[in-house]
Every structure is written in structure tokens, then in C-alpha cells.
Structure 1
Amino acid sequence: MTSVIPKSDSAATDTADAAEEATLERARAVATLLDESVRIPVVGYRVGLDPILGIVPFSGDLVAAAASLYVVYAAVAVGVPKRTTAVMLGRIGVDLAVGSIPVLGTLVDAVWKSNLRNVEAIEAHLEST
């Protein structure tokens, strides 16, 4: 017969912290892919797939918005408050709406970087808990 040793509160907290950190890292990877994955050679500015996809009228912005929802999913998974989650969804909505404007939308997508802002909101929540 084997004995079961209950986990201490500290071990459970460590496991939860590790899970939150893994979720944050995945969200950060998605945000980086969408907002800063490609370096423009001459100027050194970084853009991601979001403005590149934005070149394809409307459907490209829809694909980028759908991918952006993963960051919001990660926020919900780590317990970000509903108000902050709503703000994150609002950023994606604005990104989708403005990004749908030909040429101007692509330029705004390249500068605004809503996904990185959303990851910063997750990090701020995790630091405050």
C-alpha cells in the first residue's frame, strides 16, 4: 500500500505560478508574432503579421483579430478581471475596425500594437496578485 502525501500550499502555489507563467509566455509569443516578428531592414522598426495580413482587404484583418483573441483567452485563463478583459477586447475591435481602412489601417496596425498592450495588461494583473 502506498501512502499519499498531500501537497503543501506552497507546492500548489508554485504549480499555479508555473502554469500562469507558461500561459503568459504563449500569449507573449502570439503577441510578438502579430506585432513585432519582422524587422524592417533599413529603419530597424519591427512589425508583425497583423499589418502584413492587413494588406489583404478585410479578411486579413479578420484573421489577425481571430489570432488576437488567443491573448484574451490567456488573460481569462490567468484570472484577469472582466473589466480589463473588456478593454482588451475593445483594443482588438478598434484594431479590426481601423485596420480595415485601406492603407491607413495597415499603417496604424504597424504602430499601435494592440496585442503587446494586451500582454502588458496580463503582466500588470499578475504582478498585482
Structure 2
Amino acid sequence: MDLDLPLGTDPVAVLRRVEMLEHVLERAVALPGIRRKVGLDAVIGLVPVAGDVVAAALGMYLVWEARNLGMSKWQLARMTTNVGVDTLLGAIPVAGDLFDFMFRSNRRNLKIIRRHIDRHHPHARVIEG
């Protein structure tokens, strides 16, 4: 993955930054033997309280970028709810760590952002194959 991230505010630059952060938070490392990728979100979630706070702050950065794209209050509320659910349930000892492994709030939020970009910024459309 290209680490040269653009600093602009245009939809293409925002999308590249959001995709990189989602990759790091949700699927940076493949766990051997189970074919499942995990990221920084699941790892730092193992640190009680502080890890969940840091993961929530990083997740809210995606929401902030979405706001800068002009996304609706409804979309921003859905994204904030995803981060909130991940944070609250992820804070439960042991069970929360398993929940973090399964519930990928940043992945969900990236999908919301991509749908918005596809509809409102067609020049930045994402073509997945």
C-alpha cells in the first residue's frame, strides 16, 4: 500500500487518507492459521481504557474527514454510532476484545464514505474488482 498520502481536501485525497487509516486500524496484519486480518484497533483495544480511547479517537478522525466532505448529519450520526458501539462494547474486558475482532466499525464507516463519494463526487468514484 502506498504510504505517500495526499494532504488536500479534495474527495480523492480524503478517500486515500481514510482508506489508509482503515487499513491500519482494521486489517494491517494477517493472523497465522485463521485467515483473518486484524489491525491496530484490535491490538490497542487490549490495553484497558487507554487503548479504547485511542481507538475511538482514530475512528472519529474518519467521521471528521466525512464531515469535511459535506456528508449529511444522518450519515455522520451512523458513523459516530458505529464508533460508539465499537468503543462501548470493546471496553468490556475479554468479551470486548472478541467483539473488536468481529465488529469492524472503521470498515463500516469507510463503506459509508465510499457510497457518498460515488454519489456526490463521481470523478473520485471507487471501482472495486
CA deviation after TM superposition for structure 1 residue 42, in Å:
1.2
Aligned counterparts of 1:19 and 1:120: Cα–Cα separation in 2 = 18
Q: 1:103 aligns with which of 91, 94, 99?
A: 94
> Once superposed, which parts of structure 1, at least 4 consecutive aligned residues long, lie more than 2 Å away?
none
Q: Which residue does the alignment assign to 1:79?
A: 70
- Relative to its length, the structure with more helix (as a share) is 1
- Which letter maps to 2:68? A
Q: Which residue does the alignment assign to 2:12?
A: 21
Deviations 1:100-125 (A, max 9, x none): 00111111111111001101101111
Q: Which residue does the alignment assign to 1:43?
A: 34
SS in 1 for 2:32: coil
- Which letter maps to 1:78? L
Could you tell me which runs of 5 or more consecutive residues in structure 1 were left unpaired when the two chains were aligned: 1-17
Could you tell me which runs of 5 or more consecutive residues in structure 2 were left unpaired when the two chains were aligned: 1-8, 121-129
Q: Is the 8 A contact 1:71 1:118 kept in 2?
A: yes
The higher relative CO (CA closer than 8 Å, separation ≥ 6) is in 1
TM-score under structure 1 length normalisation: 0.83
CA deviation after TM superposition for structure 1 residue 98, in Å:
0.3
Deviations 1:21-75 (A, max 9, x none): 1101101111111111111011120011111111111110001000111111110
Q: Which residue does the alignment assign to 1:92?
A: 83
Aligned counterparts of 2:103 and 2:24: Cα–Cα separation in 1 = 14
Aligned counterparts of 1:92 and 1:126: Cα–Cα separation in 2 = 20
Alignment coverage as a number of residue pairs: 112
Q: Percent identity?
A: 38
- Which letter maps to 2:82? R
Aligned counterparts of 1:119 and 1:54: Cα–Cα separation in 2 = 20
RMSD, matched Cα: 1.2
